[in-house]
Amino acid sequence: MRVLLVEDDVSLSSFVEKGLREAGHQVEVTENGKYALTLCMTEHFDVAIVDRMLPGLDGLSLVKALRAAQVGTPILFLTSLGGVDDRVQGLEAGGDDYLTKPFAFSELLARVSALSRRSALTSTDTKPQLTFGDLVLKLFEHTATRQGKLLDLQPKEFRILELFLRHPGRVITRTMLLEHVWDIHFDPQTSVVETHISRLRNKIEKPFGDTLIQTVRGAGYKLEHRHVEEAK
């Protein structure tokens, strides 16, 4: 696997690079956020490991810029900023996972491998689009439309909707969303899932006068079409 490491702590960077190479991975290292942005825009990486505090362009801004440019490289934040608000900011900026310093290298390696596996599964799915009624997701173009109208979805919103469209009528739990969309295998004790579901509903339901994502009390959510009158 090819990994981009964006870290300005030279000793930590050397330690992580050495460990990744010993595990058989190719590693590109930079300490500058702006240069990392250029690299990700012009080259392919299976995973990027990004610090929050970087010269040139901070980690949050770097990830936001990549997601705005529709660069889907899985990103793991590796940072000393470990508060709940910090984690929420990282995930909402477009990060796929969040690991705080100090850390065990074995955990870092496991998380990098998990991100790579998920990316590989997505990239090998050649189905060009998913549909649910008048809702259409074109996976190659990374676009979503309803009634022919383009929906302005953020990367995480697109992934959530993709998961629902792959399993219509099936209950999708909060844990499933955390694992499949954020690759988080623990409860971060934040409202990140609920916030993204709310934003997604406002975009795919509110303008069309119906509901698609139903709340299943005590279980999670499921994709099921209902008119507003039925949902009340």
CATH of the domain at 107: 3.40.50.2300
User: Quick one: 117 and 151 in the same domain?
Assistant: no
User: Quick one: 27 and 118 in the same domain?
Assistant: yes
User: Quick one: 155 and 225 in the same domain?
Assistant: yes
User: Quick one: 178 and 72 in the same domain?
Assistant: no
User: Quick one: 110 and 138 in the same domain?
Assistant: no
pLDDT of res. 161: 95
Given 88, 123, 158, the domain boundary residue is: 123
pLDDT tens per residue across span 71-125: 888 999 999 998 889 999 999 999 999 999 999 999 999 999 888 876 555 544 4
User: Quick one: 118 and 134 in the same domain?
Assistant: no
What are the angstrom distances between the C-alpha of 189 and each of 75, 113, 128, 193? Answer: 21, 24, 35, 10
pLDDT of res. 56: 87
pLDDT band, residue 226 (cuts 50/70/90): confident
Q: How many domains does the chain have?
A: 2
CATH number at residue 197: 1.10.10.10
pLDDT tens per residue across span 173-218: 888 888 778 877 677 788 899 999 999 999 999 999 999 999 999 8
User: Quick one: 107 and 140 in the same domain?
Assistant: no
Task: Return the bridge partners of 132, or none.
Answer: 135
Helix boundaries (H) for the chain: 10-22, 33-42, 59-68, 84-93, 105-123, 155-166, 174-181, 192-204, 228-231
Spatial distance between the Cα atoms of 210 and 212, rounded to a whole number of angstroms: 7
Given 96, 123, 150, the domain boundary residue is: 123
User: Quick one: 57 and 136 in the same domain?
Assistant: no
pLDDT tens per residue across span 128-159: 789 999 999 988 788 999 999 999 998 889 98
User: Quick one: 33 and 91 in the same domain?
Assistant: yes
The per-residue DSSP string of 33-66 comes to HHHHHHHHHHS--SEEEE-SS-SSS-HHHHHHHH
pLDDT of res. 72: 84
Range of the domain at 62: 2-123
Mean pLDDT, all residues of the chain? 88
